[in-house]
A = this chain, B = another copy of it.
């Protein structure tokens, strides 16, 4: 059973997951095969290479765990956490820990092995967002769990071990440190100003324009003022919504379109960079926070560094976000 351990000094939880040592990436030949394999475990016809599906979109009404799906959610074969069991919160001297209870799922975004997320039509990307929502809605019914982290690793340098386009969901009995910090920081701002800091950011940025990458009626893509790394992007709804799950359909539709546009621009501008994105939304059961505001952070991995930065929480970014935003605004991509 994996363990969740809390750092005794800062509020950071870590999964100590012995079984993940056997993941495909350990063997580099095998890893390369999985990254390139045109008939891999996520391809149609190979449904038995994964555990039974948790969710699938099957417009043709095909049977579960057969081909015919357009999107499929399955348990991660090498889960960082286990679904079964009690939390078993306990101490060991000054240390705190609990059992590594949680869910680890894979969202297979398309049956097509040859397409990246940014190659998909906006309607298919919207479906991926609806799948994220369905899974978050389902997992929040588990009273042991407090947060669902949805993220994507694109490219080997960003941590992807399988090339077929997919994202992941890790549902946790704790709130990840950076989300907890965002919530605390946004609460301080709200206490001081009686306004949501993200709403204020949207207002100031759209008025100023220099860091706006793209905006639609309901959604804005920005290069954050204090970007940690070159070409960092934040996508967020213009109106106040703390919870991704509870956003109106128009926000889902436009978020998909903006994600597609931004990912296509990044691909063209930076020669298909590896990237990570993560959905930051409110914790399970928190659907009416005045101070928090969901958003997506996209971070291209352009440098090897992140070492010193990782150890200090202090970042050096050689590309001003204003330059990145201008570059991305101006680069033309096929729609």
Q: Which residues of A come within 8 Å of B, CB atoms?
A: 5-18, 20-21, 23, 25, 80, 93-95, 149, 151, 153, 156-159, 168, 172, 176-179, 181-182, 185-186, 189, 197-198, 200-201, 204, 208, 224-228, 274, 276-278, 297, 299, 301, 303-308, 310-321, 323
Contact = CB atoms under 8 A, between A and B. Distances in A.
Given A151-B308, A306-B306, A226 B314 contact: no
Given A11-B185, A153-B307, A318-B21, A178 B313 contact: yes
Contact of A14 (B9, B153, B227): B227
- Copies of this chain, tallied across the complex: 2
B10 A182 contact: yes
Contacts of A151: 308, 311-312
Contacts of A181: 9-10, 313
Q: Is the interface of A mostly helix, strand, loop or mixed?
A: mixed
Contacts of A321: 16
A299 B307 contact: yes
Contact of A80 (B21, B153, B226, B316): B316
A185 B306 CA distance: 24
Contacts of A197: 8-9, 94
Given A14-B228, A182-B9, A310-B276, A159 B305 contact: yes
Given A159-B305, A177-B313, A278-B308, 13 more contacts: A9-B181, A9-B189, A12-B228, A20-B316, A23-B318, A93-B204, A94-B200, A95-B225, A149-B308, A149-B314, A176-B313, A179-B313, A277-B311
A313 B280 CA distance: 12
Given A18-B320, A95-B225, A320-B18, A310 B299 contact: yes
